[in-house]
Each structure stands twice: as structure tokens, then as C-alpha cells.
């Protein structure tokens, strides 16, 4: 108990900690700072009133402080977040909160799972290459036996390859299925004393106590050829003896290379994560046009990579579709799960792409940046508005004792009460007037700093 793959994934998801974004922290500091500044400003008016001979009613001072609290941006933040979620929905992306959309605007590193995200994920077996001394039909039969209990598209394609070649695909009586796990990285079938396995080449060789150098030269050459073509090689064993290698061919989704180039121009670094060997990973990475890749990755490796990037001060987005991606999706600042993926992945992320298109991150980042720009504009206005209210109310409070302040009383307010009432009415009107801007958003256009300067 507690040692299965599912238990490990649950523990890692529960241990994930999605941190607050720099903009979120900055806004919290700004609002708290402004509130403290205005509190100090109001308290100092007590001494100024005593010095000037003006009797300030505590109720008036309390009303002044409440009026000066930056309520405009607070009242519009919800509208800005909801508008961002609505704009994402128009491109078939579901966001769980406005905070997730906001974080997308600051993302600078994008991690993508290969299978099902960059590629279609329906890898098909095209051939089984035997090792020297093993007949081709025997190697194919061993591959079929190792795949009879495998319900994945890859496993079914191996069985179909054998069926087309005339190999029996009936599961023997009393067979025991050996499921694939992220630890063994193998699956297969046991029938009595006989066993068949298929899995990642390095995992199988390690299980056989073979090094790369001690494996047959023809086997190594076949693995290298498959990997360099962008395919995935799977080693096959029968009763603990290496018999061949399966060639699984995967297809990169069309248009991803151009879209990744767009992400690069926006300043995002793309990293492909895969369980494939480094040669296959390099071939797929080159074809897809990503900036970097992590090969032979386990769920723990993905978590370590994300935490390492976050430790450098970067905001990380993760695109994935499998249950083994759930911990990384939960840890990433923006976790985009593919709709066609596992339920665990969709629940761990804070966004779901209904089109299962990893390059949809471009639209997600654009909406996120538009949200940040809109909020920045509204925050600037809110601060200026609060400062203006302060200098509009002060003259009305001291104009009797200090007639020279009448020059600043441009609104011709006759008393503190009328000044505060005017500020409250203005607040109520300006929030309503700014809601359309908050919902529509400030126009965003991707352009480099060099062009702006």
C-alpha cells in the first residue's frame, strides 16, 4: 500500500505548491501600501487640525479614510478576471480562475509532454527487427505475445501487425498480464514458466544486466536507426532473452513548428519532455522546433525541472495529457491539460484545452498579457484617482481656518461632508464607467522592446 504508481502520483500532486505570481504579489503590496499611506495621512490631519484650530469630527476622518481606500481597482479586478476567462473560452480553453489567466501573461518557460501533446500519440508499429540468430517470425510472435494484454494504441498496433502477418493473436489460457509502470517501463505477459516483455530499450537492457556495449551490434544499429528517424524503439524479450526491437512511428502534429517559432518571438522558451531515449527525443525536438528537451523523463524528473525553473524566478507553463503529467500540471504556474487526456491531468491543471492543441498557449499568453495590461491601466487610474480625491477633500476641510487653500478648492466644495459625499458619488459613477473597459480589455500587440525604444 502506498507504493503503486497511482499512490505516487497522488502524493506528488498533493505535495505540489502553485505559488503566487510576481504581479499578484506586487498588487497586494501596492494596495496594502496605499492603504497604510492614506491611514497615516488621515491620522496626521488630527494634529494639523489642532494646530489650525479646526475641530475635525472623528466620523468625518473615518469617512475620509474609507473614501481614500483604493476601492476602484478592487471593484474592477473581478470584472478583469472574468473577461480574461471569457476571451479564453472563445478559443476553446477553459480556465478555472482569472488568476490562472493572469499568470499566463507572465510565463516565460513552456514545458510540453511529447506524446499526445506535440505528437498525435497514436504511435503505430511498423516493423519488428530481430536480433542475430532469431527468425523474423519468431521475433514478431514474441512482440505480439508481449502486447496481447496491452490495451494502449501502441499495443493494439503491434497485435494488428502480427495478425496481418499471420501470427496467432489469441491469448493463452491462464495468462497473467504484466502492466506497464513508470518504474519498470515495461509490460508483457506471463504464461506458466514462459514470459514475454517489451519496453524502453535502456530499461530492458538493465533488466537483462546488459550494457549498451554488450548488446548485439545489429540491435544497437537498429535502435539508433529508429531513434534517428524520430520513431520509438521498444526492446522485446522472451524468457529473459533479447529477441528484437519494435519500431513505433509517431507523427508530429501539423503546424506546431511555426507556432513554436511564434512563441519564441514572444519570448517563451519551449522544452519538450519525453520518456524516449535522447536520440529519439532530439529527432522529435528538431522536427517540432522546440528550444530544448528532457529525455527519459519520469514524473519526478518533470517536477524537479519545474521547481528548478521556478527557483530561477521564471514562471512555468506545462502542457500535458497523461496521469503521469498530473503532478507537473499541479506544480506549474499555468497547467494546461489536453481535453483528450486523462481525467487526473484535467483536474490537476488550471486550464483545459478543448482542442488538445499545445500551440494554443500562444492565445493563452496573449490573453494573459492583455489582462495584465488592462489591470495595469486600471491600477494607474485608481492610484491617480485616490490621490486626486485626497487633494480635493483637504481644501474643503481647512478652507475656513486657512483661506489660502481656497485656490485649491477647484470644485468649490463648502464643507468636508460635501467633499466626502462628492468622492463617494464619483467612485460609484467611475466604477460603472470603467466596467466596459475592464471587460473589453486594452488592445495587446506583440512587439519587442527594441522596436519600442
Residue 186 near residue 158 (C-beta atoms within 8 A) = no
Q: Which three cell numbers stand for residue 265?
A: 518571438
Q: Which residues contact 188 (CB under 8 A, 6 or more apart)?
A: 145, 146, 149, 178, 195, 196, 197, 198, 199
SS3 letters for 213-230? Answer: CCCCHHHHHHHHHHHHCC
Under DSSP, the state recorded for 325 is G
Residue 128 near residue 139 (C-beta atoms within 8 A) = yes
Cα separation, 1 vs 349, whole angstroms: 26
Nearest to 248 by CA among 266, 272, 275, 286: 275
Cα separation, 322 vs 93, whole angstroms: 18
Cα separation, 16 vs 428, whole angstroms: 41
Q: Is 224 a catalytic residue?
A: no
Report, in angstroms and rounded to the nearest whole number, the Rg of the chain calculated over CA atoms: 31
Cα separation, 127 vs 440, whole angstroms: 55
Q: Which candidate in 113, 150, 250, 333 is catalytic? A: 113
Q: Which residues are catalytic?
A: 113
Amino acid at each position: 500500500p502506498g507504493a503503486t504508481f497511482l499512490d505516487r502520483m497522488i502524493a506528488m500532486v498533493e505535495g505540489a505548491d502553485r505559488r503566487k505570481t510576481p504581479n499578484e504579489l506586487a498588487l497586494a503590496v501596492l494596495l496594502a501600501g496605499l492603504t497604510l499611506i492614506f491611514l497615516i495621512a488621515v491620522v496626521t490631519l488630527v494634529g494639523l487640525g489642532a494646530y489650525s484650530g479646526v475641530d475635525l469630527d472623528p466620523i468625518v476622518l473615518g469617512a475620509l479614510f474609507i473614501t481614500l481606500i483604493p476601492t476602484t481597482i478592487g471593484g474592477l479586478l473581478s470584472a478583469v478576471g472574468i473577461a480574461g476567462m471569457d476571451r479564453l473560452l472563445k478559443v476553446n480553453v477553459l480556465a478555472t480562475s482569472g488568476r490562472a489567466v493572469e499568470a499566463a501573461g507572465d510565463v516565460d518557460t513552456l514545458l510540453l509532454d511529447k506524446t499526445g501533446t506535440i505528437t498525435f500519440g497514436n504511435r503505430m508499429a511498423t516493423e519488428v527487427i530481430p536480433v542475430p540468430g532469431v527468425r523474423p517470425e519468431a521475433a514478431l510472435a514474441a512482440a505480439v505475445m508481449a502486447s496481447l494484454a496491452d490495451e494502449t494504441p501502441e499495443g493494439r498496433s503491434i497485435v494488428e501487425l502480427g495478425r496481418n502477418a499471420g501470427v496467432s493473436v489469441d491469448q493463452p489460457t491462464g495468462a497473467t498480464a504484466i502492466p506497464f509502470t513508470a518504474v519498470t517501463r515495461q509490460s508483457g505477459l506471463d504464461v506458466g514458466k514462459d514470459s514475454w516483455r517489451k519496453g524502453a530499450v535502456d530499461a530492458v537492457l538493465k533488466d537483462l544486466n546488459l550494457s549498451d556495449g554488450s548488446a548485439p551490434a545489429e540491435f544497437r544499429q537498429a535502435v539508433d536507426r529508429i531513434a534517428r528517424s524520430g520513431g520509438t524503439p521498444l526492446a522485446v524479450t522472451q524468457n529473459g532473452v533479447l529477441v528484437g526491437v519494435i519500431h513505433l512511428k509517431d507523427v508530429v502534429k501539423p503546424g506546431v513548428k511555426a507556432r513554436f517559432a511564434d512563441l519564441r518571438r514572444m519570448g517563451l522558451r519551449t522544452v519538450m519532455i519525453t520518456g524516449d531515449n535522447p536520440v529519439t527525443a532530439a529527432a522529435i525536438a528538431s522536427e517540432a522546433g522546440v528550444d530544448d528537451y528532457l529525455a527519459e523523463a519520469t514524473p519526478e524528473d518533470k517536477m524537479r525541472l519545474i521547481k528548478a525553473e521556478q527557483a530561477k524566478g521564471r514562471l512555468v507553463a506545462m502542457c500535458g495529457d497523461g496521469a503521469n503529467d498530473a503532478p507537473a500540471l499541479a506544480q506549474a504556474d499555468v497547467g494546461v491539460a489536453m481535453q483528450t487526456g486523462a481525467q487526473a491531468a484535467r483536474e490537476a491543471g488550471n486550464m483545459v484545452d478543448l482542442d488538445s492543441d499545445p500551440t494554443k498557449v500562444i492565445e493563452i499568453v496573449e490573453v494573459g498579457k492583455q489582462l495584465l495590461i488592462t489591470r495595469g491601466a486600471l491600477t494607474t487610474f485608481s492610484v491617480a484617482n485616490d490621490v486626486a480625491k485626497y487633494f480635493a477633500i483637504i481644501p474643503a476641510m481647512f478652507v475656513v481656518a486657512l483661506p489660502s487653500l481656497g485656490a485649491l478648492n477647484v470644485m468649490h466644495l463648502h464643507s468636508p461632508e460635501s467633499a466626502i459625499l462628492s468622492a463617494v458619488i464619483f467612485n460609484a459613477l467611475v466604477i460603472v464607467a470603467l466596467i466596459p473597459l475592464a471587460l473589453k480589455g486594452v488592445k495587446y500587440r506583440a512587439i519587442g522592446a527594441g522596436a519600442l525604444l
